[in-house]
């Protein structure tokens, strides 16, 4: 595979990875702990998208909307039920709880859908060939949908009242509360939006690879690496980090066996935490 081909593949993968990374950072920014349950919540979103696409026969865009709503609902509800009491005991307690929650959700999905991989019902196109590079129309469409979703998030945060209150809580939760903003309500919304993005991301990942109970878990390290590299809690950071990890993983396959590609995420975390703990675009160190 050529360098250019790896670069293109990496950029397309990065665009998809950006969605769960954005979700992870949105949740982190508002709730101030890393919610690792994002892996199985993304998988849950992918199954919801699968139900809409295969069982109901819906095309991709509305199926992604279903994935958004389902994953957002699962993420926000499980947070309120299981993790909210733990948050009071500190971010580390909540983070550990989220790992347990992830395993619980993963097994619930396994119970409901079984271990066998499922496929989506989408037309298969032949790859485009351009100057020696082959590009899959499906990947391009995925990246396009990811880009539209990112733009929607940006507009939400920048221009709407609810988006601004999310940023206010992320900046200074106690000041926000003293201005009359309800932190519990903002937490619900941030979880709904953040995990909704993860649900779309999970569906796009599943479209690209396969859908089984471990779909989200397999990309968890990449998601976490993108978030840490870009800066925990940073929205532009999540996007930058996702492209770096996506491209880095693809480029690594030029030199190493594909089984080593996950090491890229780990390496990136190691390097960033050693030299720039707040990440590329993060505002504070943790």
Contact footprint for other proteins (CB under 8 A): 161, 164-165, 167-168, 170-172, 174-182, 283
76 close to 195: Cβ distance less than 8 angstroms: yes
Q: Closer to other proteins at the Cβ: 88 or 255?
A: 88
Tell me the closest approach of the beta carbon of residue 282 to other proteins, in angstroms.
Answer: 11
Q: State both tokens at 131.
A: 């100057």
Q: Which residue has the tokens 């532009």?
A: 236
| Burial bucket for residue 193 (CB in 10 Å: 0-12, 13-18, 19+) | buried
Q: Hey, is 3 helix, strand or coil?
A: helix
Q: Closer to other proteins at the Cβ: 174 or 274?
A: 174
Q: Closer to other proteins at the Cβ: 91 or 163?
A: 163
282 close to 237: Cβ distance less than 8 angstroms: yes
Cα(125)–Cα(103) distance, integer angstroms: 36
Q: Closer to other proteins at the Cβ: 52 or 176?
A: 176
Number of Cβ within 10 Å of residue 260's Cβ equals 12
Tell me the closest approach of the beta carbon of residue 157 to other proteins, in angstroms.
Answer: 10
Phi-psi region of 10 (alpha: psi -120 to 50; beta: other; left: phi over 0): alpha
Tell me the closest approach of the beta carbon of residue 154 to other proteins, in angstroms.
Answer: 14
Cα(243)–Cα(154) distance, integer angstroms: 17
Tell me the closest approach of the beta carbon of residue 131 to other proteins, in angstroms.
Answer: 42
66 close to 52: Cβ distance less than 8 angstroms: yes
Tell me the closest approach of the beta carbon of residue 158 to other proteins, in angstroms.
Answer: 9
Q: Closer to other proteins at the Cβ: 81 or 175?
A: 175
């Amino acid at each position: 595979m050529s360098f250019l081909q790896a670069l293109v593949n990496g950029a397309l993968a990065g665009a998809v990875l950006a969605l769960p990374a954005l979700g992870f950072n949105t949740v982190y920014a508002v709730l101030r702990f890393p919610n690792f349950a994002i892996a199985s919540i993304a998988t849950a979103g992918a199954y919801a998208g699968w139900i809409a696409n295969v069982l109901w026969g819906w095309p991709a865009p509305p199926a992604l909307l279903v994935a958004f709503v389902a994953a957002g609902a699962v993420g926000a509800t499980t947070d309120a039920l299981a993790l909210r009491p733990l948050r009071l005991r500190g971010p580390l307690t909540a983070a550990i709880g989220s790992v347990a929650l992830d395993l619980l959700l993963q097994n619930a999905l396994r119970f409901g859908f079984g271990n066998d991989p499922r496929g989506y019902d989408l037309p298969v196109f032949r790859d485009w060939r351009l100057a020696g590079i082959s590009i899959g129309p499906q990947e391009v469409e995925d990246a396009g949908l990811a880009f539209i979703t990112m733009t929607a998030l940006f507009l939400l945060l920048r221009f709407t009242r609810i988006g601004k209150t999310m940023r206010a809580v992320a900046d200074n939760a106690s000041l926000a509360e003293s201005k009359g903003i309800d932190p519990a309500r903002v937490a619900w919304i941030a979880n709904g939006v953040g995990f909704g993005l993860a649900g779309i991301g999970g569906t796009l990942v599943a479209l690209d690879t396969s859908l089984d109970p471990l779909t989200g878990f397999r990309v968890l390290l990449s998601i976490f690496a993108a978030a840490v590299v870009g800066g925990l809690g940073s929205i532009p950071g999540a996007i930058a980090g996702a492209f770096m990890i996506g491209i880095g993983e693809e480029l690594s396959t030029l030199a190493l066996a594909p089984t080593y590609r996950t090491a890229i995420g780990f390496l990136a975390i190691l390097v960033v935490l050693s030299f720039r703990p707040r990440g590329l675009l993060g505002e504070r160190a943790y």
